[in-house]
Amino acid sequence: MKKPIGVMITVVLVLWSTLAGAGESAEALRGFDAYKRGDYATAWRIWQPLALKGDAVAQGGLGMAYFFGQGVPQDYAMAAQWYHRAAAQGFLGAQYGLGILYEFGWGVPQNDVEAHFWYSIAAAHHSGVRRDLATRNRDRMAERMTPAQLAVAQERASTWRQK
């Protein structure tokens, strides 16, 4: 399935914009520098060992590489796996990316509750334009959900914030 160009641009902007305050290893950030230059092989070589050791920025980077198929074959399921690992550690770009994957059913079963949940998490922790994007997506998802689905998503998000 072809992704709308706006979705692709938004994913990149949100992921890259979260790096400034990521507080992760300088080595993982070097991977993002290589990625931005189009040197996907170098980015992959930097990120893979770091991601396997639990570096959230590197995990988010691998998720993005799989999402776009840059340096690796495009594989939304692998993107989701890496995004989940990074999101569990609080990496905001990965949380937003999971919202997109669940909204459109790319690599995961399409699930409005999951999409709303991940957009809610991203909106709660982002600021400025990033928060506005996540909030708009979350609110758009809410419009297509039943009250019961919305309640489940909101409860999960509320519980997540307490962790």
Q: Which residues, 6+ apart, have CB-to-CB distance to 19 below 8 Å?
A: 29, 32, 57, 93
Question: What is the average per-residue pLDDT within 118-141?
Answer: 88
Other beta carbons less than 10 A from residue 54's beta carbon: 11
pLDDT computed for residue 1 by the predictor: 47
- State the pLDDT at residue 92: 85
19: enclosing H helix or E strand: none
Residue 114's domain spans which residues?
Answer: 5-161
Q: Is the dihedral of CA 121, 124, 125, 128 positive or negative?
A: positive
Structure-model confidence comparison of residues 42 and 160, the more confident one = 42
pLDDT at site 5: 46
pLDDT at 85: 96
What values do phi and psi take at 74, rounded to 5? -60, 130
Residue-level pLDDT at 130: 79
Who wins on pLDDT, 128 or 9? 128
- Over range 63-75, report the average pLDDT: 94
111 pLDDT exceeds 90? yes
Q: Give 12-47 pLDDT, tens digit per residue.
A: 545 545 544 444 578 898 998 999 999 999 999 999
Domain count, the chain: 1
Predicted confidence at residue 161, as pLDDT, reads: 59
CB 28 within 8 A of CB 61: yes
Per cent of the chain over pLDDT 90 is: 67
User: Quick one: which of 39, 36, 42 has its CA closest to 19?
Assistant: 36
Q: What is the pLDDT of residue 6?
A: 53
Average pLDDT rounded to a whole number, residues 158-163: 68
pTM of the model: 0.84
What CATH number should be reported for the domain holding residue 92? 1.25.40.10
- Contact criterion met (CB below 8 Å) for 34 and 63: no
